Amino acid sequence: MSLKQRISDDMKAAMRAKEAARLLAIRNLMAAMKQREVDERIELTDADVVAIVDKLVKQRKDSIEAFAKGGRTDLLEKEQAELAVLQGYLPERLDAAAITAEVDAIVAELGASGPGDMGKVMAAVKAKLAGKADMGQVSAAVKAALAK
């Protein structure tokens, strides 16, 4: 079953179970997916869906941070609930050691050295680790690998 189909089935299940918070998060995800399909006139693959989920997760994390600073616990809890639902659609994330190992392998493969090669390395790493790792951690690992 494709990820897109799984999300659609989960939305139906959330409707039947009357889980309002879960349903809202899934509907927002479905809307973002539909928007991308209409804008680009494409049929989304699982990789495309993971990229959309990853973007929405990042937005939720940014919102959670902002609401925490502003003392808005009501909105904070709503965003945390949505984040939990969205993270269920992401593949298992790599840990820091695995990210470092992948980055080191790609740096060696490309023969990159110094901060000038950051863009080239990031493009290769992003293609390989998209959806599998937090890109903030990946960027830090690339910087560390190129500083060696």
Query: Locate tokens 């269920």: which residue?
Result: 88
Q: What percent of the chain has pLDDT over 70?
A: 100
Instruction: Give the architecture (CATH level 2) of 96-147.
Output: Orthogonal Bundle (1.10)
Domains 3-87 and 96-147 belong to one CATH topology: no
Q: What is the dihedral of CA 35, 38, 39, 42, to 10 degrees?
A: 110
* pLDDT on residue 116: 82
* pLDDT on residue 114: 78
**Low pLDDT (below 70) residues in the chain:** none
Segments making up each domain of the chain, as ranges: 3-87, 96-147
Helix axis angle, 135-147 relative to 118-129, nearest 10°?
A: 140
* pLDDT on residue 65: 95
What amino acid is encoded at 56 in this protein? L
* pLDDT on residue 118: 87
Phi/psi region, residue 95 (left: phi>0; alpha: psi -120 to 50; beta: rest), is beta
Nearest to 137 by CA among 106, 83, 90, 95: 95
The yes/no answer on whether domain 3-87 falls in CATH 1.10.1510.10 is: yes
* pLDDT on residue 129: 83
Using an 8 Å Cβ cutoff, are 85 and 127 in contact?
Answer: no
pTM for this prediction? 0.79
Which stretches of the chain are DSSP H helices?
3-17, 20-40, 46-70, 73-87, 96-110, 118-129, 135-147
